[in-house]
Amino acid sequence: MNRKTVVLKIPRSFLRYYRLPSDVVEVVGPEDATILDLIRLAELPEVEFGIAAVNGEREYLSYTPKDGQFVELHPIIMGG
């Protein structure tokens, strides 16, 4: 199966809560990998994310991004 490279962007504030080197992560995965698959490959905290913006378009984490796409991960936000 072909591989693809996708850039994942997490909220910058997460760097203070999780031991992550950067808020931008380049992930290489199988062509049919969903956003959630890529989050797992990158060992990001999947439970924190509910939705993503793929090149600016809102998508669920079950969406399969294409090679080279930029995926911004949006955190689940609750009440207070």
Instruction: Tell me, by CB under 8 A, how many residues bind another protein.
Output: 26
Beta bridge partners of residue 53, listed in sequence order: 58, 72
**2: its two tokens:** 């072909």
The pair phi, psi for residue 37, each rounded to 5°, is: -60, -40
Binding mask 10-49 for another protein (x = CB under 8 A): -xxxx-xxx--------------------------x-xxx
Q: Which is nearer to another protein, 2 or 62 (CB)?
A: 62
What is the C-alpha separation between 76 and 27, in angstroms, rounded? 22
Q: Interface with another protein by CB under 8 A: which range of 1-9, 26-34, 50-58, 64-72?
A: 50-58
- Which two three-digit tokens encode residue 16? 């203070």
Which stretches of the chain bind another protein, using CB under 8 A?
A: 11-14, 16-18, 45, 47-52, 58-61, 63, 74-80
